[in-house]
Chains A and B, each alone.
Chain A
Amino acid sequence: MRILGAPQGGRIMTAIRRIRIAAFIILLWGLMPNRAAASGRATQDAPNANPSPSDADQGKQTFEARCSTCHGLDGGGAMGPNIQGIPMRLGAAAVADVIKNGMSGGMPAFAGQLDASQIQQVIAYLLTLTHKDSGTVTGDAAKGKEVYDGSGCATCHIISGQGSGAGPELTKVGQLRGPGYLKTTLLYPGSDLPQARVFLETGGLLDYMFVHIVTRDGHTFDGTRVTEDSFRIVIKDASGQFHSFQKSELREFNKEPGKSVMPSFKGKLSDTQIEDLVAYLASLKGDQ
């Protein structure tokens, strides 16, 4: 069998982009919902910063009447994609534009059917459907920054332009993720992955899926799924390097939810250090 576009000779290992390899400690992998956020797009489109609970309630009613047949009652996807928390990823203005004008893949235009305030209410509701609200902050954010700086986190994460980008950007992780979720990920990375890579009809594939690959000639690769289709898989290893494979040419190809290229900090940092680090991360709102 020959698949068009597949180079001959079995294994394909293409470095799409080389990222500086500075260290091997990968911190906080999995805290960002998707790569769109990491690209920094639409950072100026912060949604209504403090939508009132009644906005979200009104938005819930509108969502269930107008949106849920395609996106599911919890926004987790049905015929349309998972859109939980999507205003944080794309920006409220971009989401409002999509609601008004529709988009490729089946999203109809709601201009003339929903007014501007109804659209803002729907956006307020979508913001409640994330991992954002779990837990409370008990630590000291200033001390947490010292933990962050002293633990090598910046070798894999970028905050406000500082650090390396093998892992997800954390500049506004405090807007995207709640303290409970942040703590869980520090202790048990990969245990509660967000759904992000979406297809038209499903609830979305998990982002940051850990993948173990052995090629036919015996080379082993562990990394995070970057993208996948029915024929190919691209992973990013712990150093941030991308590797692309034809699935049909692999000896082993295992997805291992629950695992992560980010190490657990359980036992490596004290409980107090963890709480302080959580407080610091929860304080990151992207406005530095």
Chain B
Amino acid sequence: MKIFPCALILSGLLACNPATSVAQGVSYDRILHSQSEPQSWLTYGGSYSSQQYSSLKQINRENISNLKVAWIYQPSKAVSNLEASPIVADGVMYITEPPSTVTALDVRTGLRLWSWSPILPEHVVSIGLYATSRGVAILGDTVFIGTADSHLVALDAKTGAVRWNVHVADNAMGYAMTGPPLAIKDEVIIGSAGSEAAVRGFLDAYDAKTGKRLWRFWTTPRPGEPGAETWGVGASESAGATTWNNGSYDPELNLVYWGTGNPAPDFNDDERPGDNLYTCSVIALDADTGQLKWYFQFSPHEDHDWDSDEPAVLFNSTIDGKPRKLLGFANRNGFYYVLDRVTGKFIAGQPFVKETWAKGLDANGRPIPEPNQEPTLGAGTLVYPSITGGVDWTSPSYSPQTGLFYVSVHETGAYFIKGQGKIEPGPPKGIVGGGGIRALAGEQSYGAIRALEATTGKLRWQFKLLAPAWVPVLTTAGGLVFSGSDEGNFFALDASSGKPLWQFYMGHAARSNPISYEVDGKQYIFETAGNAYIAFTLP
């Protein structure tokens, strides 16, 4: 393999990449126009639209069978739960190593340039989640990470030196950050996890230069606030609706779109009658003020732990002869939704997996519930989909080339059981679940990559997997769909037909967003598995 020594000398990066402006770094303008530099991967989902799409096509249907491993990076200390989507810019790849380490790699070789780790408390509270990081955001010459103990930290992109570090929320109360920040304009937006610790969800924006908080939107109301009437008697303890993954952004509308998690307690709804706004929703906030422009609640009064924290996919298409700005969402509750992202109005939706809890969606997209599908005492109620939903947080992909929406689905159900569940004041002692589930046997479950018509949700094709997989999806202009199995396969399918074209056994399930980038005229595909960060390219 060819080595580029200058790439290892940080100050030499500029000399190696005369065409790019490292001094300026990754400007907002560059991220806005990320489609014009497909050699980079500048946000979690590849662009502000979270399409998980690369317009690179050097690797394509004809030559995919030759795809080989180029390099593997493994952290010096064994880690687990790799879920980070890397950021690739100007010859450097920024990854995270769980729980909250940021590492910069030479994108050509996988060699480490620098690494930064926070000093975490001896015991990080991680209730209902595990302490991992889904990656960083980049803006200018700074990268940003949300840590397991709920700090937002800004690091110099060339050295890893800390520029600022702000304490966002109290980890002792159950707040923990796993999702990547979203950097837009001159601000950094980030949420937190913790619904199973019964925290109150929020979404924050911070000044990218100083770390000063610009706004906060609480995702559950307090008495007297809009939505309080949807929490029964008073909303004084409304909890949940955490914002533990990445969001999307429409610069023309200046709206940030973010998914929200389940209400607390998950399975026992005795103390929270009503729709429980804004849980299990997608919220559209003004990027400058954090004010709510609209919301769409997928699962009103949810009691199956079906968070809605998958990144919302933004795409434009034509409906009834009119060009429309749309938002696609394959929800954990088993329904695929198409919304007007200007207004939040429901356009279309239908199940993309087996579901037994709703008869369908009404004209406004509100589910029409089936009776007797709530968690019950004793043996519980068999409901499809399972607690893990039709898909959980793993990113789907939209290909402008095919107009299809690709998602890795879970076909399985579970017995949902109601138990004791009451929110106690003070630091959480454990999961405030209010029940639990019994899973169906593995033989009664399976997974699949499904291609849906993006404007309707109609199934175009599927590729079945042995087990329900937790693997995001990437599509490319090479006519390919990349994803993985829970058994450890990483594979490519024909984006038009679903036909398998290539597979590589990584030996462990992938969890990260597969991404693509180009350097020195060569396209790479990237995925993680187990303890390994793996770059693939053509020989």
Chain A interface (Cβ < 8 Å from any Cβ of B)? 1-5, 64-66, 68-69, 72-74, 76-79, 82, 102-109, 111-113, 195, 197-206, 209, 228-232, 248, 255, 257
CA gap between A104 and B266 in the complex, in Å = 25
List of A residues within 8 angstroms of B388 by Cβ: 78-79, 201
Whether A229 lies near B485 (C-beta < 8 A) is yes
Whether A105 lies near B509 (C-beta < 8 A) is yes
State which residues 426-476 of B face A: CB under 8 Å: 429-431, 433, 435-445, 447, 464-468, 470
CA gap between A95 and B417 in the complex, in Å = 26
List of B residues within 8 angstroms of A209 by Cβ: 443
Provide 12 A-B residue pairs closer than 8 Å at the C-beta atoms, listed in order of the A residue.
Answer: A73-B419, A102-B80, A199-B509, A201-B445, A202-B442, A203-B442, A203-B445, A209-B443, A229-B505, A230-B464, A231-B485, A231-B489
Interface residues as binary, B265-285 with A (CB distance below 8 Å gives 1, 0 otherwise)? 010000000000000000000
Q: Which of B84-92, B122-130, B211-219, B362-370 contacts A (4 or more CB under 8 A)?
A: B122-130
B353 at the interface (CB under 8 A from A): no
List of A residues within 8 angstroms of B502 by Cβ: 3-4
State which residues 116-174 of B face A: CB under 8 Å: 122-123, 125-126, 128-131
List of A residues within 8 angstroms of B441 by Cβ: 76, 195, 202-206
Most buried by A among B65, B431, B504: B431
CA gap between A105 and B530 in the complex, in Å = 8
Smallest CB–CB gap between B149 and chain A, Å? Answer: 13
Residue in A76, A78, A205, A229 whose CB lies within 8 Å of B387 = A78
Whether A106 lies near B81 (C-beta < 8 A) is yes
List of B residues within 8 angstroms of A105 by Cβ: 80-81, 509
B37 at the interface (CB under 8 A from A): no
Chain B interface (Cβ < 8 Å from any Cβ of A)? 65, 67, 80-81, 122-123, 125-126, 128-131, 196, 266, 305, 380, 386-388, 410, 412, 414, 417, 419, 429-431, 433, 435-445, 447, 464-468, 470, 485-489, 491, 499-505, 508-509, 530-531
Whether A69 lies near B439 (C-beta < 8 A) is no
Smallest CB–CB gap between A132 and chain B, Å? Answer: 19
Total A-B pairs, Cβ < 8 A: 167
List of A residues within 8 angstroms of B439 by Cβ: 72, 76-78, 82, 201-203
Smallest CB–CB gap between B262 and chain A, Å? Answer: 11
Given A78-B386, A102-B80, A231-B489, is A112 in contact with B436 using a C-beta cutoff of 8 Å?
Answer: no
The residue of chain B having its C-beta at the shortest distance from the C-beta of A228 within the complex is B466
CA gap between A68 and B433 in the complex, in Å = 9
Whether A103 lies near B487 (C-beta < 8 A) is no
Given A3-B503, A104-B530, is A199 in contact with B508 using a C-beta cutoff of 8 Å?
Answer: no
CA gap between A74 and B417 in the complex, in Å = 11
Smallest CB–CB gap between A247 and chain B, Å? Answer: 9
CA gap between A69 and B436 in the complex, in Å = 6
The residue of chain B having its C-beta at the shortest distance from the C-beta of A67 within the complex is B431
Residue in A74, A108, A111, A200 whose CB lies within 8 Å of B131 = A108
Most buried by A among B433, B487, B489, B509: B487
Whether A202 lies near B81 (C-beta < 8 A) is no
CA gap between A142 and B414 in the complex, in Å = 45
Residue in A64, A206, A230 whose CB lies within 8 Å of B442 = A206
Q: A76-B438, A230-B467 are in contact. List 9 more A-B contacts (CB 8 A).
A: A4-B65, A69-B305, A69-B433, A72-B438, A106-B130, A107-B80, A202-B412, A230-B489, A257-B443
Whether B417 lies near A199 (C-beta < 8 A) is no
The residue of chain B having its C-beta at the shortest distance from the C-beta of A204 within the complex is B442
CA gap between A108 and B80 in the complex, in Å = 10
List of A residues within 8 angstroms of B509 by Cβ: 105, 199-200
Smallest CB–CB gap between B125 and chain A, Å? Answer: 8
Residue in B130, B436, B438, B487 whose CB lies within 8 Å of A199 = B487
Whether A200 lies near B126 (C-beta < 8 A) is no
List of A residues within 8 angstroms of B447 by Cβ: 230
Smallest CB–CB gap between A109 and chain B, Å? Answer: 8
Whether A66 lies near B489 (C-beta < 8 A) is no
Smallest CB–CB gap between A112 and chain B, Å? Answer: 3
The residue of chain B having its C-beta at the shortest distance from the C-beta of A73 within the complex is B436
Given A198-B442, A200-B509, A201-B388, is A69 in contact with B466 using a C-beta cutoff of 8 Å?
Answer: no
Most buried by B among A1, A198, A229: A229
Residue in B437, B464, B491 whose CB lies within 8 Å of A72 = B437
Smallest CB–CB gap between A229 and chain B, Å? Answer: 3
CA gap between A74 and B380 in the complex, in Å = 12
Smallest CB–CB gap between B507 and chain A, Å? Answer: 10
The residue of chain A having its C-beta at the shortest distance from the C-beta of B305 within the complex is A69
The residue of chain A having its C-beta at the shortest distance from the C-beta of B508 within the complex is A104
CA gap between A66 and B419 in the complex, in Å = 13
Smallest CB–CB gap between B118 and chain A, Å? Answer: 16
Which 6 residue pairs spanning A and B have beta carbons closest together?
A112-B123, A104-B80, A229-B487, A203-B439, A205-B442, A68-B436
The residue of chain B having its C-beta at the shortest distance from the C-beta of A79 within the complex is B388
CA gap between A4 and B417 in the complex, in Å = 44
Given A78-B436, A104-B81, is A202 in contact with B67 using a C-beta cutoff of 8 Å?
Answer: no
Whether A104 lies near B487 (C-beta < 8 A) is no
List of A residues within 8 angstroms of B465 by Cβ: 230
Given A108-B130, A201-B470, is A248 in contact with B123 using a C-beta cutoff of 8 Å?
Answer: no
The residue of chain B having its C-beta at the shortest distance from the C-beta of A63 within the complex is B436
The residue of chain B having its C-beta at the shortest distance from the C-beta of A62 within the complex is B430
List of B residues within 8 angstroms of A65 by Cβ: 429-431, 433
Given A111-B123, A230-B485, is A3 in contact with B500 using a C-beta cutoff of 8 Å?
Answer: yes
Smallest CB–CB gap between B271 and chain A, Å? Answer: 18
CA gap between A134 and B440 in the complex, in Å = 22
Smallest CB–CB gap between B102 and chain A, Å? Answer: 20
CA gap between A79 and B387 in the complex, in Å = 8
The residue of chain A having its C-beta at the shortest distance from the C-beta of B266 within the complex is A69
Whether B438 lies near A73 (C-beta < 8 A) is yes
Smallest CB–CB gap between B385 and chain A, Å? Answer: 11
List of A residues within 8 angstroms of B489 by Cβ: 229-231
List of B residues within 8 angstroms of A64 by Cβ: 419, 436
Most buried by B among A65, A73, A76, A204: A73
Smallest CB–CB gap between A160 and chain B, Å? Answer: 32
List of A residues within 8 angstroms of B380 by Cβ: 73
Whether B491 lies near A195 (C-beta < 8 A) is no
List of B residues within 8 angstroms of A205 by Cβ: 441-443, 467
Whether B486 lies near A112 (C-beta < 8 A) is no
Residue in B123, B417, B430, B468 whose CB lies within 8 Å of A73 = B417
List of B residues within 8 angstroms of A5 by Cβ: 503-505
The residue of chain B having its C-beta at the shortest distance from the C-beta of A248 within the complex is B500
CA gap between A146 and B50 in the complex, in Å = 68
Whether B467 lies near A199 (C-beta < 8 A) is yes
Smallest CB–CB gap between B120 and chain A, Å? Answer: 11
CA gap between A9 and B504 in the complex, in Å = 19
CA gap between A69 and B509 in the complex, in Å = 21
Smallest CB–CB gap between B222 and chain A, Å? Answer: 27
CA gap between A112 and B266 in the complex, in Å = 24
Smallest CB–CB gap between B72 and chain A, Å? Answer: 16
Whether B131 lies near A230 (C-beta < 8 A) is no
Whether B443 lies near A4 (C-beta < 8 A) is no
Smallest CB–CB gap between A217 and chain B, Å? Answer: 22
